[in-house]
């Protein structure tokens, strides 16, 4: 049965066709990982098929071919496959091709070229397509229209059509919210870079450090025990070692990579989906095209300068599923330092990340939540102090509450009643003509109530105190 399009997918399709109708030849469409890009462009292919238009879909991995063919079949569209080891059928007006195989074979006729995961389209093999098909329209789709260098795609596409921000998809229930926990931060000072990212061989040696390996297991045991988790490793040696360490600690784990035989890989993925395997460690095999919405956690054990790779990895855990309240991100690679929270607003352009946006990636100030529910400012100069914190997106209320935490510490230092922190904070807000918000009041109540239970009897406040506060604030605090 064909999938029913969501409102934003209808809107995206309309925006793409509007661009083409306005004479724009090459359109780049952006939508976050997990929101159904394949479903969207499969609907466009279906429309083309019904009007006997020839469409060529180009991908860079065979797993994506299988996924796309399945989506098209669900819409009643048969496609030819251009892939090594597969006999091509050029009689089909819809073709799905591996870029590597396509370059070695006859190119089919096409009125429309669709490039999936088009952030890979920087390669010369993709650029040739514009020369081979001078009269065709182009559609590129990606979650991250940016190259590793930070450059965009204005050399290939004429217009960028962006979708909603990730936070809007979360608010509307199309993506799962995440909890992002900081693990031990690797020291990458000695790791050289090549073509903009870390040299894999050197990076693998660093990430095999015993302390970091121990922290991987501890992070999972502390925050994600018994949950289905995907680990993103540096290379095969690192990934196999990660799986081995998990098994040694009584947690069922397995390793897969691009060289894992097809049937073995299929079997391992089925065992992971059925939860016979709790942890699946992989190397560049589950960053794109892997569909398992029930995945509960991802563990980032592969440092990278690539924002695209970072968002692809985190995206594996943001798909919605029945009973899934949120996804867990265990960041054992220091990617929060490199790129900030995955859900922050990012303003994409054909030129890449705008210069004025660069300081936000990541922001200079960050906030974390301790296990006991206390807000804490994160100092980038001392990342080791952030281990174990849950990263929280900065809002004006949370930034102000850091001041409240200073008042709590002051009350402790002066051996005063902890409720004095509330009064100092209230006076602080009033001096700036700021009203106490519901978010701030909820945090303060929860924080002080917990501290109140452990305080000496002569330093406690009565539970009824909050009734008086809420009564007095009722005109100011919106419900």
Q: What is the pLDDT of residues 207-260, one digit of tens each?
A: 999 999 999 999 999 999 999 999 999 999 999 999 999 999 999 999 999 888
451 DSSP assignment:
H
What are 98's two structure tokens? Answer: 């591996």
Domain chopping of the chain, boundaries: 7-164, 171-344+364-392, 396-473
Query: Average model confidence (pLDDT) for the chain?
Result: 90
Out of 44-58, 145-159, 298-312, pick the least confident: 145-159
- What mean pLDDT do residues 274-290 have? 86
Taking the domain 171-344+364-392, which CATH number applies?
3.40.50.300
Q: Are 295 and 216 in contact (CB under 8 A)?
A: no
Q: How far is CA 454 from CA 233, 446, 457, in A?
A: 43, 13, 9
- In eight-state DSSP terms, residue 41 is H
Q: Which residues pair with 378 in a beta bridge?
A: 366
| Structure token digits, residue 206 | 């660093």
Which H/E stretch holds residue 381? none
- Cα-based angle 325, 246, 248 (whole degrees, multiple of 5): 145
Q: Check whether 361 has a pLDDT greater than 60.
A: no
Query: Residue holding tokens 């302390």?
Result: 211
Half-sphere exposure (Cβ direction) of 206: Cα atoms closer than 13 Å: 22
User: Does pTM top 0.85 for this prediction?
Assistant: yes
pLDDT at 2: 60
Is pLDDT above 60 for 479? no
As a whole-number percent, the residues of the chain with pLDDT over 90 amount to 71
Cα-atom radius of gyration of the chain, to the nearest Å?
25
Q: Is the predicted pLDDT of residue 467 greater than 90, yes or no?
A: no
| Other Cβ atoms closer than 10 A to 262 | 8
**7-164: CATH homologous superfamily?**
P-loop containing nucleotide triphosphate hydrolases (3.40.50.300)
Judge if 7-164 and 171-344+364-392 fold alike in CATH terms.
Answer: yes
In which region does residue 150 sit, left (phi positive, over 0), alpha (psi from -120 to 50) or beta (all else)? left
Note the pLDDT tens digit of each residue in 116-166. Answer: 988 877 778 888 999 999 999 999 999 988 877 667 788 899 999 999 999
Ranges of H-type helices in 300-395: 307-315, 335-339
* Model confidence pLDDT, tens digit, residues 34-46: 999 999 999 999 9
Across 52-81, b (16+ Cβ under 10 Å) vs e yields ebbbbbbbbbbbbbebbbebbeebebebbb
Residue 101 has a pLDDT of 93
How far apart CA 230 and CA 53 sit, in angstroms, is: 40
pLDDT for 358 equals: 43
Assess whether pLDDT exceeds 70 at residue 193: yes
Average pLDDT, integer, range 192-207: 93
> What confidence score (pLDDT) does residue 357 get?
43
Q: How confident is the model at residue 363 (pLDDT cuts 50, 70, 90)?
A: low
pLDDT of residue 353: 59
Mean pLDDT across 272-291: 86
Express as a percent the part of the chain with pLDDT over 70.
Answer: 95
């Amino acid at each position: 049965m064909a999938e029913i399009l969501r409102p934003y997918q209808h809107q995206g399709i309309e925006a793409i066709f509007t661009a083409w109708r306005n004479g724009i030849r090459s359109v780049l469409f952006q939508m976050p990982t997990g929101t159904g890009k394949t479903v969207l462009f499969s609907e466009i292919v279906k429309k083309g098929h019904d009007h006997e238009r020839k469409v060529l879909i180009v991908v860079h991995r065979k797993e994506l071919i299988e996924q796309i063919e399945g989506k098209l079949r669900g819409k009643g569209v048969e496609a030819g496959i251009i892939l090594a080891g597969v006999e091509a059928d050029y009689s089909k007006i819809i073709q799905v091709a591996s870029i590597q195989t396509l370059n070695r074979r006859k190119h089919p006729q096409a009125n429309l070229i669709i490039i999936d995961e088009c952030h890979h389209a920087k390669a010369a093999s993709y650029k040739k397509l514009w020369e081979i098909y001078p009269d065709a329209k182009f559609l590129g789709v990606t979650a991250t229209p940016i190259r590793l260098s930070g450059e965009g795609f204005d050399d290939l596409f004429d217009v960028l059509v962006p979708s909603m921000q990730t936070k809007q998809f979360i608010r509307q229930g199309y993506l799962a919210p995440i909890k992002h926990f900081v693990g031990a931060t690797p020291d990458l000072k000695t790791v050289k870079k090549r073509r903009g990212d870390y040299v894999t061989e050197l990076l693998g040696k660093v990430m095999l450090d015993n302390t970091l390996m121990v922290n991987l297991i501890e992070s999972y045991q502390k925050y994600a025990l018994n949950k289905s988790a995907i680990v993103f490793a540096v290379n095969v040696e690192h990934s196999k070692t990660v799986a081995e360490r998990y098994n040694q600690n009584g947690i069922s784990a397995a390793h897969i990579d691009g060289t894992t035989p097809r049937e073995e890989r299929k079997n391992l993925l089925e065992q992971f989906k059925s939860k016979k395997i709790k942890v699946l460690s992989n190397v560049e095999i589950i960053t794109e095209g892997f569909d398992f919405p029930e995945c509960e956690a991802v563990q980032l054990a592969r440092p990278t300068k690539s924002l695209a790779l970072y968002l692809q990895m985190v995206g594996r855990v943001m798909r919605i599923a029945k009973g899934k309240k949120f996804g867990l991100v265990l960041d054992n690679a220091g990617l929060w330092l490199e790129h900030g929270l995955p859900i922050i607003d990012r303003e994409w352009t054909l030129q890449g990340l705008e210069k004025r946006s660069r300081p936000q990636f990541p922001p200079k100030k960050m906030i974390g939540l301790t296990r006991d529910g206390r807000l804490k400012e994160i100092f980038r100069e001392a990342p080791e102090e952030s281990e174990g914190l849950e990263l929280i997106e900065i809002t004006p209320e949370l930034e102000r509450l850091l001041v409240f935490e200073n008042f709590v510490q002051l009350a402790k230092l002066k051996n005063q009643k902890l409720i004095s922190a509330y009064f100092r904070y209230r006076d602080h807000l009033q001096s700036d003509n700021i009203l106490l918000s519901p978010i701030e009041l909820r945090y303060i109540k929860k924080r002080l109530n917990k501290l109140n239970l452990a305080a000496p009897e002569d330093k406690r406040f009565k539970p009824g105190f909050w009734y008086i506060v809420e009564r007095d604030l009722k005109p100011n605090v919106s419900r």
